[in-house]
Amino acid sequence: MRAVREMDYVADARAKAVAGVATPALAFVLEDITGPSFAHMAHGVEREATRLGHLCLVCSTEGDVRHELEFVEMMRAQRAAAVILVGGAADTPEYRERTRRMAESLASAGSRLVLCGRPPLGPGAPVTVIEYDNEGGAYALVAHVLAQGHRRVLFLGGKPDHTTAQGRERGYLAAHRARGLEPDPTLLLHGDFTRDSGHRLTREALGAGLEFTAVVAATDMVAAGALTALHEAGLDVPGDVSLAGYDDIPFARDLHPALTTVHVPYEELGRLAVRTALGRTPQTPDEHLLLGTHVVVRDSVAEVQEEEQ
How long a stretch of residues is the chain? Answer: 309
Q: Mean pLDDT, to the nearest integer, of 11-26?
A: 58
- For 43-63, how does the pLDDT look when each residue is reduced to its tens digit (9 = 90+)? 899 899 999 888 888 888 887
Q: Mean pLDDT, to the nearest integer, of 102-128?
A: 88
**Max Cα distance, the chain (Å):** 84
Share of the chain above pLDDT 90, in %: 56
- For 147-199, how does the pLDDT look when each residue is reduced to its tens digit (9 = 90+)? 999 999 999 999 999 999 999 999 999 999 999 999 999 999 999 999 999 99
SS3 276: helix
Dist CA 84 CA 27 (whole Å): 6
Residue 30 has pLDDT above 50, yes or no: yes
Q: Crossing angle of helices 266-277/36-51, nearest 10°?
A: 40
Residue 21 has pLDDT above 60, yes or no: no
| Residue 99: how many other CB atoms lie within 10 Å | 23
Phi, psi of 304 (to 5 degrees): -80, 135
- Give percent helix, percent strand, percent coil of the chain, each to the nearest 5: 45, 20, 40
pLDDT band, residue 15 (cuts 50/70/90): low
Q: Whose CA is closest to 215, among 304, 284, 300, 158?
A: 300
CA angle in degrees (0–180, nearest 5) for 44-262-257: 110
The distance of Cα 236 from the centroid of its chain, to the nearest Å, equals 29
By mean pLDDT, which of 10-24, 183-197, 199-213, 251-265 is the weakest?
10-24
Contact present, 144 and 236 (Cβ < 8 Å): no
Q: Mean pLDDT, to the nearest integer, of 15-42?
A: 73
Domain 2-133+265-292 architecture: 3-Layer(aba) Sandwich (3.40)
Check for a shared fold between 2-133+265-292 and 134-264+296-308: yes
CATH topology of domain 134-264+296-308: Rossmann fold (3.40.50)
Phi, psi of 11 (to 5 degrees): -70, 145
Q: Are strands 127-132 and 153-157 parallel, antiparallel or unpaired?
A: unpaired
Sequence spans of domains, the chain = 2-133+265-292, 134-264+296-308
Task: State yes or no: cis peptide before 238, omega within 30 of 0.
Answer: yes
Dist CA 36 CA 53 (whole Å): 26
Kindly give, in sequence order, each residue whose CB lies less than 8 Å from that of residue 30, ignoring residues fewer than 6 positions away. Answer: 38, 41, 42, 58, 59, 60, 61, 85, 86, 87
Share of the chain above pLDDT 70, in %: 92
